[in-house]
Structure 1
Amino acid sequence: MSGTDAPILLACRDLSVSYGKIAAVRSVGMEIREGQVVTIVGPNGAGKTTLLSSLMGLLPFSGEVAYFGETTTRPLGVEKLVRRGMGLIPEKRELFGSMSVEDNLLLGGFDRWRQGQRNQRDTLDEVFGIFPRLKERRRQAAGTLSGGERQMLAMGRALMAKPKLLLLDEPSLGLAPLIIAEIFRIIADLRQRGVSILLVEQNARAAMAVADYGYVMEAGEFALQGPAADLAKNDRVIETYLGIAGAHASADKEAAGA
């Protein structure tokens, strides 16, 4: 787990995003430090994806955002952010279904190739090391993959750009429990490899288990925030997002530690 003195990769202050007269995100502030997994949990329509999209330069915003130490009051281009070390894995994954797994991955490293870097094959081997299943299916069309394999491919494609910070939008959406466990194991592994992660997720239990710090978003605002381990014990979070099973798990942990 990273310390509070680690460099800040991304921070925002008083960030707001509106669709016309409708405020989707209202004056939020947050930060992600090097070596951290930070999660944002909350219900559908809370503004989580809107916030992620604005941070990645896909939506206009008001307020301030600091990217790797440089503060701006307007969106930077996606291409510029990718070159600085950010990557987004959208909820819908947005793969090229008719192209092979390997070609989808190589496209993720295209900007590095365009800048004169020619080590994409080495990076491809690294990605195959993280996702052995993708190596097995490297010649297969992306559109024929299972849901879990498509999520792995979306993550692998983003890693081909050698990001310092990955923005993940609902990686567990539509996946079976065993696959969800595998995806979150990979998220923890990526942190060990030096990739920081901002994780938007409805599966609060899985998100809090892997994260260092968490934010609970409701109606466009952060209702709660704090170390993920503390949020996982918060009565409001347990009741609203973790359910009865979460309460039992919390009680069991307390009993074990008594």
Structure 2
Amino acid sequence: MIPLLRLENFSVSYGAVEAVHDVALDVNEGEIVTVIGPNGAGKTTLLCAAMGLLPAKGALSLSGERIARPSVEAMVARGVSLVPERRELFAEMSVEDNLLLGGFYRWRTGRRDQKARMDEVFQIFPRLRERRGQMASTLSGGERQMLAIGRALMARPRLLMLDEPSLGLAPLIVREVLQVVSSLRQHGVSVLLVEQNARAALQVADRGYVLEMGAVALTGAARDLLHDRRIIDTYLGIGTGVGNKAAQ
């Protein structure tokens, strides 16, 4: 099987400081893959570089096609969308207008399917349909995250990259959001999920990568990582308690 996304010897530096070192990572069609690790491990940097927001060394391929110089426009054109950690919504625009902006690239390239796609997004997030006329600034934290994901889905991506979707959300809302993330496979969307909430991420993922100090320290099936003593002790807050924050 040719991976939908493949990173090989992928490294990212800030000046003389290398934040991500020789990462090898695959995401297959129909898969949810999570990258977990402590604060400062390089998770967000890895995601931003994979989206073309930061320069990187190494190889990035999509469905076997090598992308020599990843850029946001090139990645979007090839069916990749990113939901950033801060969500980056247009606060003084309505839910509907935020969604329409998510489909702008398709509109610009002549594909006039925004209304049909918005209806599909509303089926995934019924609450957004109820609030379609509200300003984004009036939404709750969970609703903003739903809008950020919905806006990304307007581009009809094959691969959705999510950066800390649980950030700042109550546990009940985290479960609701991640259940939706899990269901995206049914809509033909693969997911690369960066999360500090290790337990929640591993419960919805197929496979996981543990990033420590910018390098992959461990990888495997998500169900195996959930029961790995190293992960339990460090990230799930059951053993030594070192990772309590990640498990909250």
* TM, length-normalised to structure 1: 0.91
Partner residue in 1 for 2:244: none
> Once the two structures are superposed, what CA deviation does each residue of 1:16-39 show, in whole Å capped at 9, x if it has no partner?
100001110001101100000000
Partner residue in 1 for 2:165: 171
Asked which structure has the greater CA Rg, the reply is 1
Alignment of 1:30-41 (within 5 A): 30-41=25-36
Partner residue in 1 for 2:46: 51
> Once the two structures are superposed, what CA deviation does each residue of 1:29-62 show, in whole Å capped at 9, x if it has no partner?
0110000000000011000000000000011111
Match of 1:224 among 211, 215, 218: 218
Partner residue in 1 for 2:17: 22
Supply the AA of the counterpart residue of 1:150.
R
Partner residue in 2 for 1:146: 140
Partner residue in 2 for 1:94: 88
Partner residue in 1 for 2:232: 238
Contact 1:214 1:228 in 2 (8 A): yes
Supply the AA of the counterpart residue of 1:143.
S
1:245 CA drift (Å): 8.4
The separation in 2 between residues aligned to 1:156 and 1:245, in whole angstroms, is 37
In the alignment, is residue 62 of structure 1 matched against residue 54 of structure 2? Answer: no
The separation in 2 between residues aligned to 1:136 and 1:15, in whole angstroms, is 42
The separation in 2 between residues aligned to 1:73 and 1:157, in whole angstroms, is 27
Contact 2:233 2:239 in 1 (8 A): no
246 and 137 in structure 1: CA distance in 2 versus 1, 3 angstrom threshold:
farther
Match of 1:127 among 108, 121, 125: 121
In the alignment, is residue 10 of structure 1 matched against residue 30 of structure 2? Answer: no
In the alignment, is residue 206 of structure 1 matched against residue 197 of structure 2? Answer: no
124 and 245 in structure 1: CA distance in 2 versus 1, 3 angstrom threshold:
farther
Q: Count matched residues.
A: 241
1:68 CA drift (Å): 2.4
Supply the AA of the counterpart residue of 1:72.
I
The separation in 1 between residues aligned to 2:192 and 2:134, in whole angstroms, is 30
Q: Percent identity of the aligned residues?
A: 61
182 and 245 in structure 1: CA distance in 2 versus 1, 3 angstrom threshold:
farther
* TM, length-normalised to structure 2: 0.95
Contact 1:88 1:168 in 2 (8 A): yes
In the alignment, is residue 159 of structure 1 matched against residue 153 of structure 2? Answer: yes
RMSD over equivalenced CA pairs, Å:
1.4
Return structure 1 stretches of 4+ with deviation > 3 angstroms. Answer: none
Contact 1:16 1:63 in 2 (8 A): yes
The separation in 2 between residues aligned to 1:246 and 1:105, in whole angstroms, is 44
> Once the two structures are superposed, what CA deviation does each residue of 1:128-164 show, in whole Å capped at 9, x if it has no partner?
0000110010000001111100000000000000000
In the alignment, is residue 181 of structure 1 matched against residue 180 of structure 2? Answer: no
Contact 1:63 1:73 in 2 (8 A): no
Contact 2:35 2:209 in 1 (8 A): yes
The separation in 1 between residues aligned to 2:211 and 2:92, in whole angstroms, is 37
Contact 2:37 2:211 in 1 (8 A): yes
The separation in 1 between residues aligned to 2:239 and 2:122, in whole angstroms, is 36
Contact 1:62 1:73 in 2 (8 A): no
1:73 CA drift (Å): 4.2
